[in-house]
Structure 1
Amino acid sequence: MAQLRAILDIVDDDLAAKSGVRDSFRILAEVQRHDPRMVAELLSSPQTGAWAATCLRLLTSRDPDSPVWLHLAHLGSVAAISALRARQRVRVMVPVHAGAVHLPTFGRASIATAEKLVECDTDLGLWLNGAEPAAWESVRTLHSVAGGVPLEVQLDDVDPYWSSFGMPTTGRLTNEEVAVWKDQIDEAWAILGERHPHRLHTLAAALRCLVPVRQDGRIGGVSASSVDAPGAVALTEPMSPVRLAATLIHESQHYRLASLHDLRHLYTTPPTQLRYSPWRNDPRPVSGVVHGLMAFAGVAEFWSRERVDLPTELEYARHIRQLRVAHRVASTASDLTELGRALVAALGTAIDAMPVDTGPEDVRRVADDLVSEHEARWRLRTIVPSPENVRAFGEAWLAGTSLPISHATPPAACAPSGDNPVTRVAMALLEGKFERQKLGDVQFAQHFPGAVSYHVPLVAGDYQVARDDALAYIGADTADDAAWATLSVACGRLSAEPNRSPVVRVPELVRAAFAVIAPDGDLRPLRALLAR
């Protein structure tokens, strides 16, 4: 309601006349008087939210190349579907996108016309310019029941406003593909009902819509939520029911936190500082760190009940370690409000209640290394030491004197990157999917895009080999993030006092000084430093 009011307040008379937005609003208000509950449900749908947010963003940015009037005209489609559901007859102008009229939460109707706007008549059905649609594609609805709790969720592959998720949608799914999604949802809901019944009511209330998206070059399944479209989860075709269940918990946790922040702010904006988040390769404001805490606290609790083999043991071990790191980061943030600090403290209590020293020892070792490798690579990617610090460190390095280490340099903003390839290597080793001695370089690159051969001895615990392999790569490319991160973890494992090792504590400073000392990649100064 607030978004609609804002849209009407912003549009000028020319835009309003061209789009018909005020006439559409009037019709929607008339239907609301007849059936307020149905209209409230429609206005709170993720489809309507995504559209309204798009309009407000375009209206406030004033992009001259954007056909904002055509987006505003989509309110006619909202009014039309409200009338159709209320069994009221209205005539309203609706926009045509790529040869189709889209009715949010309902579907899309094909129409052969060059017009940008057509008349929609809801008399005994749906009529476009006085004729029935040439073809109709409805939004499918999936139903499941577990533990006596029903789940009803739409599978919306036709709405034109899912760009807020930042991922390309799949387009129309075949009936066979829908059947796969249906089976995955049924099994995931059954898993939740059997071992996580305390989640059912929250998930059933929070989830309104699933949006199928494409991989688009990413490895493994991906999912996303958006504050523009609360209740919708964008995700690739589920890899397994158990991972789908974890994904639903993850994204619903984001929506719970976003709703709470809407009611009473948890953090201030704009952020005063970017920070480390163990789930992201780019620096994050405190809001991102708190969202990670909220989402993965639910995911870790899920995996604590799903540990049935080595890969699921690693899922839990990795998440609980990431949570403890993130909680330390969030606890020191100055951007939190009083309520935000209370929430972070409560999440810390929940995290501390989940054991960290559980499961097979080798899995715990791998989890520790994955978390350390991620943080080292994050430092190498985002922290640029000052020239003064690099010079002082390099001079002490060559002189063999005490090494001045500075942590004062703030992280620099950078584009987010994909998932961590080292985690995929670790999962494959634990699943026994390959024998590392028999997998050549070409096969390795095909199986694990983004990973490097030295990641195998790293996750296998062959730290001497991992260190020597990483050094060889550094000699060939002195700026290689992955090689320096592997060197940092391996040296930490091999050192009697890892907390005193600069390559463990500040790998970005060591790399920057090495580039000055040995621009040709001569490893002798670096080997001497490691020997110290």
Structure 2
Amino acid sequence: MTLSPVPDRALAELGRTEGGPDTLALLVRDQDTRRLLMLRAVLDAAEGADARVCSADARARVREDWALLAEADRVAPAGGGAAADRGSAFPGDLAADPASASARDTARDTAAGPTANPAATAPPGGPTPDPAAIAAAAGRAPDQATTSAGYIPPHPPLSPARARLLHPLVGPWARRCLRELGAAAGPPTAEGTRELAHDLAHFSALAAVAAARAGISYAVRLPARDGALVLPSLGVLRTAVPGGVPVDVVHRRGRLTLRQSGVADITVRLESGTGAWSAAPAWTPAYALPGLLSGAGPMPLDDLDPYRTARGGPRHHALSGPTTLDDAGRKRWLHSWSAAAAALGLGGEQRVGEAVALLRCLVPLADPPGSAGGGRGGGSCSGTRREAFGAVLSSTPPTPATFAATLVHELQHTKLAALSDMLTLHHAGPQERYFAPWRPDPRPYDGLLQGAYSHLALADFFQRCALTATRPAHRESAWTLHARYQEQVGAVLPTLVGSGDLTARGRRFVDQMVAVHERLEEHPPPRGQAARARAYVAAARALWAGRRIRPTG
């Protein structure tokens, strides 16, 4: 589905693994539009679903939630702007229907706003990391990066409703609902109906959070799941009784009252940005890291959202599962994040700019098997989800520089996936047949293109680090990594270029990748690193070929 044209200039920038402010903003606008269309599709699917799958009461509740969100969308965003002048993000007939909202006892409350969250806005403490190209962040202080030319300013403010609905992890929720409501789901089952009821209840929680952030007073009943009530961006309540018990939620003047049968009420006070505070042990607040640059909003570190990884479905072979962080784990994340802008800047200001423009939340993963644990080395893993635009999933980053490389790698996947939504780069099928020196298994053409694209950006990143490093050990490490990525990309570019499945614009995109690879060759690594990189790729190819040989007879 084509929503926005892609100018040739933008295509060329992206082919070079770059992207100026206008190009990155184009990707973001297109993805945001697709998200809103997907949410409308959920509404339409619920309205048209078999009554055995989505009951009349469930459909009525969805309409009420949309009406509450539409009201929250008319509230001016924090930091300025006039949401009401922009028009609603929601379907006209639903947004204009006040009857369903009346059941919520809603009323605008502008007398008091949320309180500040020092943990989310204060600059990180602790010692300044030792400058380095590979082992740690280096070269310039984060506050210097905020005034460098080419960096992209923080995202424009959003209404409370849009801030919730455009959050990356709403995408997996919407996709899941569409699968459950679609005809392909098959005949209704009791288990499927229960799962859909749980998922639609999450939509009620999203609406409640948006309305609270907008200063709208209300009283609603929300069901917990498995003993937990998750209020996205605020926190999670562990209920007194396990299972799907109901919780009455009342919002007045920036304060939530959570009421369960037979236990004392719990009071939760909203904080700005991310999180909400309560003295109750049953409440765990959502957490956010400081902004990547000075003046940028806090970055959610989301270890609570129930849709942060694929529930019950296949998981990427190299990714570990989600984890919930303790205080020590959050401090390790903060250490790497607080120097990430400086570490990214070593590979060029473009890398900082794309992180500011595209990154919307981080999802912590458990340390992979065989690692030392706690992000202290010995292995890490990371990934993205196409339906969760702006989210990067990662185990605890061992160092700021490792984290910077992870962001460079994963944000290329984000860019290329977004571009592929806007235009067709190739018509290749899903057959897994191609050698990729960064994977032991054969890859489909699209996977090969994705991998080559992200590795090309890493080759560029580490070459820039090597050329600017002042310490010999850091320079040598950067050249080693550059040489490996450059050799890996060089091994697959002929396959990409030679494909007859490329479209005309896809060929122009791949040609830009070739041009970048050739430019990087103008500053070759030392002979030793280059030789080791060639041997590494040759060994990977030999192993891959050996697995492809099947004994006969």
Structure 1 stretches lacking a partner, 5+ long? 384-507, 517-532
TM-score w.r.t. the length of structure 1 is 0.67
Partner residue of 1:69 out of 197, 205, 210: 197
Of 282, 287, 291, which residue of structure 2 is paired with 1:140?
287
Letter in 2 for 1:233: V
Counterpart residue number, 2:250 = 121
Residue 525 of structure 2 is aligned to residue 359 of structure 1: yes
Match of 1:342 among 484, 498, 508: 508
Tell me how far apart the structure 2 counterparts of residues 337 and 46 of structure 1 sit (CA, whole Å).
30
Query: Quick one: structure 1 residues 29 and 376, their matched pair in 2 at CA, closer, same or farther if it must change by over 3 Å?
Result: same
1:394 matched residue in structure 2 = none
1:206-232 per-residue CA deviation (whole Å, 9 max, x = no partner) reads: 111111111342551110011121111
Taking a change above 3 Å as real, the CA distance of residues 54 and 95 of structure 1, as seen in their structure-2 partners, is: farther
Structure 2 gap segments, 5+ residues each: 1-35, 77-82, 84-157, 268-279, 372-378, 467-473
Cα gap change, 1:193 to 1:368, in 2 (>3 Å): closer
Q: For 2:239 and 2:428, how far apart are their aligned partners in 1?
A: 45
| Structure with greater proportional helix content | 1
Cα distance in 2, alignment partners of residues 362 and 194 from structure 1? 23
Q: Distance in 1 between matches of 2:234 and 2:405?
A: 28
SS in 1 for 2:465: coil
Change (3 A) 1:360 1:48: same
- Post-superposition CA distance 1:347-378 (Å, at most 9, x none): 11111111287333232222111111112222
Matched to 2:300, the amino acid is Q
Asked if residue 377 in structure 1 is aligned to residue 543 in structure 2, the reply is yes
The alignment yields a C-alpha RMSD, in angstroms, of 2.6
Answer yes or no: is the 8 Å Cα contact 1:157–1:173 preserved in 2: yes
Cα displacement (A) at 1:18: 5.4
The answer to whether the aligner puts 1:192 opposite 2:344 as a matched pair is: yes
Higher relative contact order (CA 8 A, sep 6+): 2
% identical aligned pairs: 29
Is the counterpart of residue 330 in structure 1 residue 496 in structure 2?
Answer: yes
Q: Which of residues 333, 338, 357 in structure 2 aligns to 1:205?
A: 357
**1:5: which partner in 2?**
40
Q: What pairs with 1:209-358 in structure 2 (closer than 5 Å)?
A: 209-217=361-369, 220-268=379-427, 270-271=429-430, 274-307=433-466, 308-355=474-521, 358=524
- Structure 1 residues 246, 16: CA separation in 2 closer, same or farther (over 3 Å shift)? farther
DSSP-derived class of the 1:34 partner: coil
Contact 1:320–1:356 (CA<8 Å) still a contact in 2?
A: no
For 1:83 and 1:44, the matched residues in 2 are separated by 15
Q: Confirm or deny that 1:80 pairs with 2:203.
A: no
Structure 2: how far apart are the matches of 1:30 and 1:50?
Answer: 24
Kept in 2, the 8 Å contact 1:286–1:336? The answer is: no
Change in 2 beyond 3 A, CA 1:299/1:16: farther
Residue 125 of structure 2 corresponds to which residue in structure 1? Answer: none
Structure 1 distance, partners of 2:400, 2:454, is: 19
Contact 2:226/2:244, CA 8 A, preserved across alignment: no
**Letter of the 1:84 counterpart:** A
Q: Is the 8 A contact 1:265 1:340 kept in 2?
A: yes
- For 1:200 and 1:362, locate their aligned partners in 2 and report how far apart those are by CA, in whole Å: 31
Tell me, yes or no, if structure 1 residue 98 matches structure 2 residue 257. Answer: no
Measured in 1, the distance between the counterparts of 2:488 and 2:410 equals 18
Give the C-alpha shift of residue 149 in structure 1: 7.2
Q: Distance in 1 between matches of 2:426 and 2:298?
A: 33
Q: Look at both structures and tell me which one has the larger radius of gyration over its CA atoms.
A: 1
Deviation (angstroms), 1:244: 0.7
CA distance in 2: counterparts of 1:150 and 1:196, whole angstroms: 19
TM-score (norm 2): 0.65
Paired letter, 2:388:
A
Which residue identity lines up with residue 448 of structure 2 in the other structure?
Answer: V
- TM-superposed CA distance for 1:282, in Å, is 2.0
Q: Is this contact kept in 1: 2:386–2:414, CA < 8 A?
A: yes
Q: Which of 138, 162, 165 is residue 308 of structure 2 equivalent to?
A: 162
Partner amino acid, structure 2, of 1:31: A
Q: Confirm or deny: 8 A CA contact 1:286 1:335 kept in the other structure.
A: no
SS at match of 2:427: coil
Instruction: Please list the CA deviations of residues 50-92 of structure 1 after superposition, one character each: whole Å capped at 9, or x if unmatched.
Output: 2112222333452743412211221001101100110112334
Q: CA–CA distance in 2 between the matches of 1:215 and 1:172?
A: 12
Q: Matched residue of 2:520: which SS?
A: coil
CA shift digits 1:124-151 (9 cap, x unpaired): 32233473265322221111555x6747
CA contact 1:149–1:201 (8 Å) conserved in 2: no
Distance 1:274-1:159 versus aligned 2 partners, 3 A rule: same
Q: Structure 1 CA distance, aligned partners of 2:332 and 2:417? A: 31
The letter of the residue matching 2:62 is: V
Task: Give the letter for the 1:257 counterpart.
Answer: L
Amino acid at match of 2:304: V
Show the counterpart of 1:34. Answer: 75
Q: Does 1:45 align with 2:167?
A: yes
Verify the 8 A CA contact 1:99 1:111 in the aligned structure 2: yes
**1:335, distance to aligned residue in structure 2 (A):** 3.1
Q: Deviations over 1:172-200 (max 9, x none)?
A: 32222212211111122222235522322
Cα-to-partner distance string for 1:412-432 (whole Å, 9 max, x where unaligned): xxxxxxxxxxxxxxxxxxxxx
Against the structure 1 CA distance between its residues 244 and 33, is the aligned structure 2 distance closer, same or farther, given a 3 Å change threshold?
same
